[in-house]
Amino acid sequence: MSVETRKSYCRFCHAYCAIEVEVEDGRVRKVRGDRSDPVYGGYTCIKGRQLPEVANHPERLRASLRRKPGGGFEEISSVRALDEIAAKLREIKNAHGPRAIASYCGTHSFQNSVQLAFARAWHTGLGSPSFYTSVTIDQPAKFVAMARHGLWSGGAHSFESADVVLVVGNNPVVSMFSPYGGLSTFNPSKALRDAQKRGCRVIVIDPRRSEVAKRADLHLAVKPGEDPTLLAGITRVILSEELHDADFCAAHVNGLDALRAAVEPFTPDYVEARSGIPAEQMQDAARLFARGPRGGVSCGTGPNMAPHSNVTEHFVLALGTICGRVNRAGEPVPNPGILTPLPRRAQAIPPFPGYGAGARSRVRGLGELNVAGVPEMPTAALADEILTPGEGQVRALFVMGGNPVVAWPNQPKVLRALEALELLVCVDIRLSATARLADFVIAPKLSLEREDVTLLTDSWYSAPYSHYTKAVAQPGFDALEEWEVYWELATRLGTPVRLPGGEVPLDERPSKLEVLKLQLPTPRVPLEQLRAQEGGQLCAEVAPRVEAAKPGNDARLDVAPAPVCDELRAIRAEAFSTTGAGYGADADAFRYRLISRRLRHVYNSSGQYLSAIRREGTTNPAYMNPEDLRELGVRDGELIEIESAHGRLPAVAEASDDLRRGVISMAHAFGGAPSEDTRVREIGAATNRLVDDESDWDPVTGMARQSAIPVNVRRRRGADAPRPPF
């Protein structure tokens, strides 16, 4: 028996905490935080600490599976599975063309540092634009907003230097996610405490008194989906009181007068009536934010899943811009990026084409979205791409570390689509709700069994930090990495895989380091050097400063793009209700709004089966204001039925003072198909059954309304809470 302690990083979620792993004969025994790490300082959460159970769980797939003709699965070697999959792909490609072959890369694809680039390159080599990821059902509006507004090459102010942050529908204390100018993604709770100690003020906009709102200086409990109105009101206060950075705007910004005109109708009275935020509180927030002098704005999933997300994300960028919250020439670059260095200059990158070019969806007039330079098709339309006959119909789908049955909008349609496929291949560690429908399930290596580098977070660190880990454990059976599945298929189909540094060799399977070097050809520090050290490291020699603008550069940011001004006019023309708990024009038909949220102990559908996590709760409760529950005659813990215009869902009610009346807060990606509804207390329920992807979607991104969903609630028959056993 040999026990050793190895350093690595956790990839249960995207926060990549540095850990020490006790390994016995190649198997993971225990995980704890690495207290010597310069960024994480030993932080871990309940999810990461379960990595040993993830690896050793009886339900973990220890072989790849093939569906048997009569139903059920049988074990199959990965070589045989890939031969059969390749044969089917060849047949589909020859009969219907390459577009019929699609991939959906879910959240776990982001945790393998080469998977996304490899999958995209495989699709390009195959000639198929049918490349989808979870980004387009997450926060695609961010990329639309950047394309319309442009970006500041020198980057936004870091959280560490901020005097104020505005946090819009984002709860980093739980989610470990706070992009561009928000809180820290790494040990955010401590980062928040440190920031507040040095005087940083925090403003939170959220219908729920979220974990971060509880610690904020100012919490604006906005009505769900009314962020565009509230942010327009805040912008109006800043501009009308001349609190903006006029010099920065004169030098670098287009559209200031047009923005003034566009927000003019969002008077404090109007904003109060519509968003539920008292005029004075809104004005306080605007003044506090504008005072700065340094600071940032972050926006999370809530407002991105609500209507008019492109407008909300535009304000997130525009508020920073009009207040001049950017790094100037000579300032240190707070997040230089070790693996993907970008030139940083004190100048604007003007608006750029981010959508509307490239492949078109066959449904709803949608098309590719440029996600950080990579074209992707909109996931919200993928079920229809499978179900709609005709040229380009998707017939084969790879689901790579994702769970469409519970994560995509319109669950009944998703189920029909997955069943209609000629070939469904899942790469998953277990038989998820989706993998159970697959023709083949490929057993992957787990994170600690893989070599990886912190690529996803490379430009999120506010220090020149990187962590390259070798594999610290072994699966001990026939398992592949996600990208290796594509590599194997490329060799069988003879299709090239080109990465930025050159073509991937197809004669012999390259090592992970070789693939990383092709993918990241110009790192600031050679990958071999990063690989040579165990644990995360600060690269002190990397200390770039923002360079002066290129002489003659006259690029400008646009704070009032025409589509945003048009959409603001349309928002201002919408009807809304000012009475009771109801919101919006349909307040009489639907009394409640169901909003999205994350739970600390799970990662979407990942982890729900683990023993320590199940002790935290097995369902995704429907959190509601106690007054609302009283009015409905529902007691804490009883079953309710939630109904939207689109579908019905059972749920377990839980009283919460953190919610304003008329709001239900519920996590997604729980439960299974409708046939499993009776197990709602044990496995939860999939909120996506309530989501309508056909009449309520964004015309640019295709995002369905996954938050601020109009619903009604009633007590479910036979709904009594289980009696305590005494």
Ligand X SMILES: Nc1nc2c(c(=O)[nH]1)N[C@H]1C(S)=C(S)[C@@H](COP(=O)(O)OP(=O)(O)OC[C@H]3O[C@@H](n4cnc5c(=O)[nH]c(N)nc54)[C@H](O)[C@@H]3O)O[C@H]1N2
The binding site for ligand SF4 (CB under 6 A) comprises 10, 12-13, 15-17, 44-45, 47-48, 176
Residue whose beta carbon is closest to ligand X:
302
Q: How far is the CB of 356 from ligand SF4 (least distance, A)?
A: 36
Whether the CB-CB separation of 187 and 461 falls below 8 Å is answered with no
Q: How far is the CB of 720 from Mo ion (least distance, A)?
A: 35
Task: Give the position of tokens 């409640």.
Answer: 592
Q: How far is the CB of 137 from Mo ion (least distance, A)?
A: 8
Residue 433 beta carbon to ligand X: minimum distance, rounded to whole angstroms: 8
3-state DSSP of 324-345: CCECCCCCECCCCCCCCCCCCE
Nearer to ligand SF4, 368 or 452 (CB): 452
Name the token pair of 98: 């390459």
Residue 202 CB, nearest approach to Mo ion (Å) = 23
444 forms part of the interface with ligand X (CB under 6 A): yes
Rounded to whole angstroms, the Cα distance separating 122 from 134 reads 18
**With CB under 6 A as the contact rule, which of the stretches 85-93, 298-306, 320-328, 356-364 interacts with ligand X?**
298-306
Q: Which of 668, 689, 705, 716 binds ligand X (CB under 6 A)?
A: 668
Q: Determine, following the binding rule CB under 6 A, whether residue 172 of this chain makes contact with ligand X.
A: yes
48 binds, among ligand X, ligand SF4, Mo ion, none (CB under 5 to 8 A by kind): ligand SF4
Of Mo ion, ligand SF4, ligand X, none, which one sits near residue 177, judging by CB under 5 to 8 A according to partner kind?
A: ligand X
State the binding partner of 17 from Mo ion, ligand X, ligand SF4, none, CB within 5 to 8 A by kind. ligand SF4
Token pair 């189920």 in the structure block, residue:
415
Burial 17-46 (b: 16+ CB within 10 A, else e): bbbbbbbeeebbbebebbeebebbeebbbb
Asked if 458 interacts with Mo ion (CB under 5 A), we say no
Beta carbon of residue 134, minimum distance to Mo ion (angstroms, whole number): 6
169 vs 336, beta carbon nearer ligand X: 169
Encoded amino acid at 691, one letter = V
The residue (of 338 and 610) whose beta carbon lies closer to ligand SF4 is: 610
User: CA dihedral in degrees (595, 600, 604, 606; nearest 10)?
Assistant: -160
CB nearer ligand X, residue 245 or residue 452:
452
Helix-, strand-, coil-residue percentages of the chain, each rounded to 5: 35, 20, 45
Q: How far is the CB of 171 from ligand X (least distance, A)?
A: 3
Decide: is 134 part of the binding site for ligand X (CB under 6 A): yes
**What whole-number distance in Å separates Cα of residue 412 and Cα of residue 575?**
31
Handedness of CA 151, 155, 158, 162 (dihedral sign): negative
Q: CB under 5 to 8 A by kind: which of ligand SF4, ligand X, Mo ion, none does 605 bind?
A: ligand X
φ, ψ at 700 (rounded to 5°): -95, -50
Cβ distance to Mo ion smaller for residue 178 or 275? 178
CB of 175 to ligand X, least distance (A): 3
Burial profile 1-12: b = 16 or more Cβ within 10 angstroms, e = fewer? eeeeebbbbbbb
**Shorter beta-carbon distance to ligand SF4: residue 176 or 515:** 176
- DSSP β-ladder status, 440-442 and 151-152: unpaired
Residue (88 or 598) nearer to ligand X, CB: 598
Binding of ligand X at residue 187 (CB under 6 A)?
no
Going 564 to 566 to 571 to 572, the CA torsion angle's sign is: positive
Residues in the chain: 726
Under the criterion CB under 6 A, does residue 598 sit at the interface with ligand X? yes
Among 170, 275, 310, 491, indicate the residue that binds ligand X (CB under 6 A): 170
Of positions 34, 138, 226, 452, contacts Mo ion by CB under 5 A = 138
Q: Residue 368: what residue type?
A: E
Which of ligand X, Mo ion, ligand SF4, none is residue 668 near (CB under 5 to 8 Å by kind)?
A: ligand X
Tokens of 647: 């579908």
- Cα dihedral: 169, 172, 174, 177 (round 10): 100
Q: How many whole angstroms separate alpha carbon 178 and alpha carbon 180?
A: 7
**147 is in the binding site of which of ligand SF4, Mo ion, ligand X, none (Cβ under 5 to 8 A by kind)?**
none
Q: What's the CA gap between 698 and 692, in Å, rounded? A: 12
Distances (CA, A) of 428 to 3, 28, 49, 366, 480: 28, 19, 20, 29, 11
DSSP H helices, 267-391, are: 268-275, 279-291, 301-305, 309-322, 382-387
CB of 548 to ligand X, least distance (A): 36
CB of 16 to ligand X, least distance (A): 12
16 binds, among ligand SF4, Mo ion, ligand X, none (CB under 5 to 8 A by kind): ligand SF4
336 binds, among ligand SF4, ligand X, Mo ion, none (CB under 5 to 8 A by kind): none
- Whole-angstrom distance, CA of residue 308 vs CA of residue 227: 9
Mask 219-248, x = binds ligand X (CB under 6 A)?
---x-xx-x---------------------
Q: Is 306 in the site for ligand X (CB under 6 A)?
A: yes
Cβ-based neighbour number of residue 635 at 10 Å: 14
Closest CA to 520 of 116, 147, 13: 116
Token reading at 685? 């329920």
Q: Of 47 and 445, which has the nearer Cβ to ligand SF4?
A: 47
Which range touches ligand X (CB under 6 A), out of 69-77, 183-191, 218-226, 417-425?
A: 218-226
Q: Where are the beta strands (DSSP E) in 153-264?
A: 164-168, 201-205, 218-220, 253-254
Q: Report the helix count and the strand count for the chain, using DSSP H and E.
A: 23, 33
| CB closer to ligand X, 206 vs 484 | 206
> Would you tell me which residues interact with ligand X (CB under 6 A)?
13, 106-108, 134, 137-138, 168-172, 174-177, 205-208, 210, 222, 224-225, 227, 300-303, 305-306, 401-404, 407, 427-430, 432, 444, 446-447, 482, 595-600, 602-606, 665, 668-669, 687-688, 691, 706-708
> Would you tell me which residues interact with Mo ion (CB under 5 A)?
138
